[in-house]
Amino acid sequence: MEYRLDGHYGYWRLIRSSLPLIGMMVLISLYSIVDGLFVSNLVGTTAFASLNLVWPAIGLVGALGLMVGTGGAALVSKTLGEGDRTRANRYFSMFIEMILLLSVLMAIPLYIWMEPLSIMLGAEGTMVEECVGYGRICALGMPAFMLQMGIQPFFMVAEKPHMGTVVSLVSGLVNIGLDALFIIVLDWGLDGAAAGSMLACCVGGFAPLIYFMRRHGDRGLLFSPARFAFRPIMQACSNGISEFVGSISFNVVSICYNLQLMSFYGEDGVAAYSVILYLGYIFVATYTGYNMTVTPLVAFNYGAEQKGELRSLLRRSLLLMMSLGVVLMCTAELLAGPVARLFLGYDPDLTALTIHATRVYSPCFLLSGLTLFASAWFTGLNNGPVSAAVSFSRTFVFELGCVFLLPALFGADGIWFSACVAEVLALSLAFVLLRRFRSRYGY
């Protein structure tokens, strides 16, 4: 099916258009899951916990690429809606260059300070060495990782969603193959998992960039060297600040979860939480893929002043997110046992803890899609501050508060259901903001 920014989008067209990017995001989320599966079963629980202890720090840096990419895609889409393709291509090129520059500037201190950072994150004993080795390899691959994160939203703007899925599938297969080679054949352990992931990111990041360097008809995006301009870069960062805040908040919350779990359960708690996060990666990737589809549509119709289409997109998207939330919550309940045994079946007690924790945690998947969509909606409207307010409150205010308050009141189980309470609070705020800005944007 051909993807176009213009035209009317009913339910079926929205679903068909979003499937390629949902597939792409799910495949990308499988990187860390594949690493975890190999590491947990072939290297051990300590390495598995170390991987997931240090990964949030890697994600914090990678979020910069997502911020520039998502915010830049909204601005490029709006510019296309205004009919200025030359300026849109110049903006696109500028944003890609900005992502590469930021990746180098952030990778250097991350590599140098990985050891004290690992200790600060809660690593103890042999975990410190494991975290440092994994984290430094990821720092070396940061340009590829950030470019892959940042270039994803532009597949929809270029009206090439299927290309993103193909690239992600190929890079995912490369990741699996390299993990098998480095961990099983060469016995590189956790370092092998890091090397496999970063080399796979080279495929997912640099291959699309090479594609965009060549002109493909009159409608695609074209990358060519462009001089930085302060105003569009700041506008892109402002548009994408919600995705950045949401990502860093998620990773900060993950760090705090790990600190709390280390105090209640030790490394077993981190291992159990890691399995929940792996399910969450896939589910959130599903929501993110849909939002990456809709955000350029919102931006285009906002630029073209198509208010009727904006109302249609909002109404249909809310219903789709509610329906998908029910499906994913039920899926989490059903898969709690099989997934726990897949990762941790060698330890019956740890498996039982993981199953219990997953079932307590799973209701948050019912609501999280609606909150994530509300944030993406305001990104599409080029209103970064409001979008950021939704993302920031969801994780950094509500969930971070709950993860410290509820265990003090209810013990260890308070950690597992803190996400559900936070989602209820964040969704309430999101609906208040949607109603508050309805008259301004005419939806």
Please tell me the distance from the alpha carbon of residue 71 to that of residue 77, in angstroms, as a whole number: 10
Please tell me the distance from the alpha carbon of residue 423 to that of residue 409, in angstroms, as a whole number: 19
> How far from 225 is each of 90, 143, 148, 228, 344, CA to CA, in Å?
8, 17, 19, 10, 49
Among 62-66, 225-229, 280-284, 433-437, name the most confident range: 433-437
Tokens 């900005």, residue located: 98
pLDDT, position 435: 92
Average pLDDT over residues 432-438: 91
> How far from 320 is each of 62, 242, 312, 317, 366, CA to CA, in Å?
29, 22, 12, 5, 12
Residue with more model confidence, 23 or 102:
102
Q: In percent, how much of the chain has pLDDT > 70?
A: 96
Average pLDDT over residues 422-434: 92
Where are the alpha helices (H) located in 113-141, listed in sequence order?
114-120, 126-140
pLDDT at 2 over 70: no
Q: In percent, how much of the chain has pLDDT > 90?
A: 33
> How far from 159 is each of 5, 216, 434, CA to CA, in Å?
7, 11, 28
In a domain, 6, yes or no: no
Residue with more model confidence, 1 or 274:
274
CB-based contacts of 13: which residues, under 8 Å, 6+ apart? none
DSSP 6-45: SS---HHHHHHHHHHHHHHHHHHHHHHHHHHHHHHHHT-H
In a domain, 101, yes or no: yes
pLDDT, position 351: 92
Count of the separate structural domains present in the chain: 1
Q: What angle do CA 29, 31, 34 make, to 5 degrees?
A: 115
Residue with more model confidence, 218 or 64:
64
pLDDT at 244 over 70: yes
Residue with more model confidence, 178 or 219:
178
CA 129 to chain centroid: 27
In a domain, 300, yes or no: yes
In a domain, 1, yes or no: no
Please tell me the distance from the alpha carbon of residue 278 to that of residue 39, in angstroms, as a whole number: 14
Tens of pLDDT, residues 372-417: 999 889 988 888 788 878 888 887 789 888 988 898 888 888 888 8
Average pLDDT over residues 210-221: 78
Question: Do the beta carbons of residue 133 and residue 194 sit within 8 Å?
Answer: yes
In a domain, 3, yes or no: no
pLDDT at 1 over 60: no
For the entire predicted model, the pTM comes to: 0.70
In a domain, 5, yes or no: no
> How far from 316 is each of 34, 227, 295, 307, CA to CA, in Å?
34, 40, 14, 14
Task: Find the distance separating the first CA and the last CA of the chain, reported in whole Å.
Answer: 28
* Average pLDDT of every residue of the chain: 86
Question: Do the beta carbons of residue 93 and residue 225 sit within 8 Å?
Answer: yes
Please tell me the distance from the alpha carbon of residue 261 to that of residue 304, in angstroms, as a whole number: 49
In a domain, 377, yes or no: yes
In a domain, 302, yes or no: yes
The domain of 261 spans 11-441
Tens of pLDDT, residues 264-323: 888 788 888 888 888 888 898 899 889 988 888 898 888 888 888 889 999 999 999 999
